[in-house]
């Protein structure tokens, strides 16, 4: 790390309603063991879920529904 270089502790990421829905769904699918492991390392999953869900409720979800894509590839 260089002099004057700052370490970020917070970040803002723009997510659309579909992306936020993916994160919420993934958090709901965690089993108890995974949730405890994440809590030890990063913090409460339920707190994160509630924080994200509050934002989700404020978004326009009228276009949500099943979308059929010809090819589904992992984005990572």
Supply the pTM of this predicted model. 0.71
pLDDT at 4 over 80: no
CB distance 21 to 64 below 8 Å: yes
Token readout for 24 is: 């919420």
Q: What is the pLDDT of residues 5-55, one digit of tens each?
A: 778 789 899 999 999 999 999 999 999 999 999 999 999 999 999 999 999
Token look-up 């004057």 returns 4
pLDDT at 36: 96
Would you mind telling me the total number of residues written for the chain in this entry?
Answer: 76
Looking at per-residue pLDDT, the higher value among 23 and 71 belongs to 23
Instruction: Evaluate the CA torsion angle 26, 28, 32, 38 in order and state its sign.
Output: positive
pLDDT at 57: 92
Crossing angle of helices 45-57 and 32-41, in 10° steps, is 90
């Amino acid at each position: 790390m260089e002099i004057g270089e700052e370490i970020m502790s917070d970040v803002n990421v723009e997510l659309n309603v579909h992306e936020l829905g993916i994160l919420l769904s993934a958090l709901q699918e965690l089993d108890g063991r995974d949730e405890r492991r994440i809590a030890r390392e990063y913090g409460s999953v339920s707190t994160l879920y509630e924080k994200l869900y509050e934002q989700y409720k404020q978004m326009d979800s009228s276009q949500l529904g099943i979308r059929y894509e010809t090819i589904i590839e992992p984005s990572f």
